[in-house]
């Protein structure tokens, strides 16, 4: 045990030294992967991080793994050892047979036998994972587990430091433009994105995906289609992979010969790889694809009035799950009353109550602003049930100045609830006039008018599946039109 402890100590010493070096992030994580693997007598290691808005893994550093294994295709964190995404350490005794291993056939070909996966956790959220691999069946000890948990904690600190530097750079740039930083920095995916596209249709498709904030990878996987004398004779590399849809996309032009040849390859790929979802798209099929998967567009005029998609559907759903998990943990053993203010909160309320693993009672209020009787806020519909001595969670779509919310909280406190907290999807802190503690916050947004996901402008745009910034020339008033909450 003494020798193993010494091995852990030496490895941690090397890891902390490289973590404080001026090396590139790739070199730092590669070095950490090597030290971690050697310390637990593993043959390989991979450190990966979740792309923030989706649940697939982007490799940050590796050791001892072949290019074939690393380029076997994107790893879906919900399909490949999904328990790691829930914060659990996962052991796989035989990677060639365990159905939780996403590409177990390639694991067998590359002599991957046992795997230990450890989550990288930052601020109570799983942001990535470290996996160590062995060529022979191997059982990892509790001391191995403890050592690797220390290593992933260091990885989380490195990520936090890297993000902080990125935030400072972005804030400096945006302060010069008098705008607000609206989103967390994302891990670069430039290695999977081309400097230029082979065809203008690919560039056009990529721009369309970027507008809707649909993450994409360019040609991330090549599929062997036929073999000759044991060697691959023909391969097919689809143009795009959309991780959140688990969909490969091959684009084609109107040239019939190309359409015929690509149709042949797509049919052959489906026969050889029946679990792979792939579509052959012509230019006119772009919009149809987005409509099918619920991204819109909901009419050219309406979409044209949205300047930018601020948060995509998948970003919203991921954040809703995180908030629901925190609420379920904080109110464990309690029954809560969730109170929403109609009508902007309807989408957020409907989604979050489905993710909370507690008994929940739902009630709604309705208000009108700037009443003719001199009141700034008037309650037009009060609660249907008593909240006296009950745990109340006020659910808001957006908190702006805080004036309306402050009025409503005063009203609710008069009913003597046992506790009263606030959960809001959007926090527009730049316009805050009344300082109100917000216990659960989805996103902080800039001082701009937003629509979608229940939020409207003149009763339109509520049914957009994303949250977008409305063009200033449409709203006419810069930031004053979202409710005075």
Q: Which residues are catalytic?
A: 400
Q: How many CB atoms lie within 10 A of CB 259?
A: 14
Distance from C-alpha of 391 to C-alpha of 359, rounded to nearest angstrom:
11
* CA angle in degrees (0–180, nearest 5) for 287-293-297: 40
Determine if the peptide bond prior to 343 is cis (ω within 30°).
Answer: yes
Q: Which residues, in sequence order, are bridge partners of residue 62?
A: 46
Q: Is residue 223 within 8 Å of residue 272, measured between CB atoms? A: yes
Q: How far apart are CA 343 and CA 27, in angstroms?
A: 50
Q: Contact, 138 vs 114, CB < 8 A?
A: yes
Return d(Cα 465, Cα 452) in angstroms, integer: 6
Q: Where are the alpha helices (DSSP H) in 189-341?
A: 200-211, 256-272, 285-292, 300-304, 313-330
- List CB contacts of 106: < 8 A, sequence separation 6 or more: 68, 69, 72
SS3 letters for 270-283? Answer: HHHCCCCCEEEECC
In this structure, the chain runs to a length of 485
How far is Cα 419 from Cα 61, in angstroms, rounded to an integer? 46
CA angle 359, 126, 222 (to 5 degrees): 120
Beta bridge partners of 426: 398, 443
Q: Which residues contact 107 (CB under 8 A, 6 or more apart)?
A: 69, 95, 96, 101
395: tokens are: 């659910």
């Amino acid at each position: 045990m003494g020798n193993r402890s010494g091995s852990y100590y030496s490895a941690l010493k090397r890891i902390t030294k490289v973590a404080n070096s001026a090396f590139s992030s790739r070199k730092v994580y590669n070095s950490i992967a090597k030290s971690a693997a050697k310390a637990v007598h593993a043959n390989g290691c991979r450190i990966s991080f979740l792309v923030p808005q989706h649940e697939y893994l982007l490799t940050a550093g590796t050791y001892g793994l072949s290019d074939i294994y690393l380029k076997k295709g994107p790893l879906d964190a919900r399909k490949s050892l999904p328990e790691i995404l829930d914060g659990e350490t996962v052991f796989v005794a035989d990677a060639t047979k365990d159905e939780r291993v996403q590409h177990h056939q390639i694991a067998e070909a590359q002599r991957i036998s046992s795997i230990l996966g450890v989550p990288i956790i930052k601020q109570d959220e799983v942001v990535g994972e470290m996996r160590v691999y062995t060529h022979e069946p191997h059982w990892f000890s509790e001391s191995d587990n403890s050592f690797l948990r220390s290593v992933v904690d260091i990885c989380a600190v490195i990520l936090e430091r890297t993000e902080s530097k990125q935030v400072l750079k972005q804030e400096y740039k945006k302060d010069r433009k008098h705008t607000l930083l609206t989103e967390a920095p994302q891990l670069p995916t430039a290695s999977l994105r081309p400097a230029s596209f082979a065809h203008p249709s690919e560039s056009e498709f990529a721009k369309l995906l970027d507008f809707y904030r649909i993450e994409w990878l360019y040609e991330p996987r090549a599929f062997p289609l036929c073999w000759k004398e044991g060697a691959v004779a023909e391969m097919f590399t689809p143009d795009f992979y959309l991780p959140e849809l688990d969909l490969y996309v091959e684009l084609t032009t109107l040239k019939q010969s190309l359409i015929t040849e690509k149709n042949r390859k797509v049919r052959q790929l489906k026969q050889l790889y029946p679990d792979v979802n792939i579509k052959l798209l012509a230019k006119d099929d772009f919009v149809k694809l987005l409509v099918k998967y619920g991204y819109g567009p909901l009419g050219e005029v309406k979409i044209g009035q949205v300047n930018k998609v601020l948060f995509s559907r998948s970003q919203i759903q991921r954040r809703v799950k995180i908030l629901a998990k925190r609420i379920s943990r904080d109110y464990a053993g309690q029954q809560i009353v969730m109170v929403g203010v109609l009508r902007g909160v309807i989408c957020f309320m409907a989604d979050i109550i489905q993710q909370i693993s507690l008994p929940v009672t739902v009630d709604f209020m309705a208000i009108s602003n700037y009443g003719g009787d001199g009141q700034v806020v008037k309650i037009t519909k009060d609660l249907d049930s008593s909240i006296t001595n009950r745990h109340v969670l006020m659910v808001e779509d957006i908190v702006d100045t805080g004036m309306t919310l402050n009025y409503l909280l005063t009203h609710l406190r008069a009913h003597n609830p046992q506790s009263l907290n606030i959960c809001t999807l959007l926090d527009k802190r730049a316009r805050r006039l009344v300082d109100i503690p917000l216990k659960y916050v989805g996103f902080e947004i800039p001082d701009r008018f937003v629509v979608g996901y229940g939020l409207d402008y003149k009763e339109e745009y509520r049914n957009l599946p994303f949250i977008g910034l409305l063009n200033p020339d449409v709203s006419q008033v810069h930031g004053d039109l979202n409710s005075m909450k």
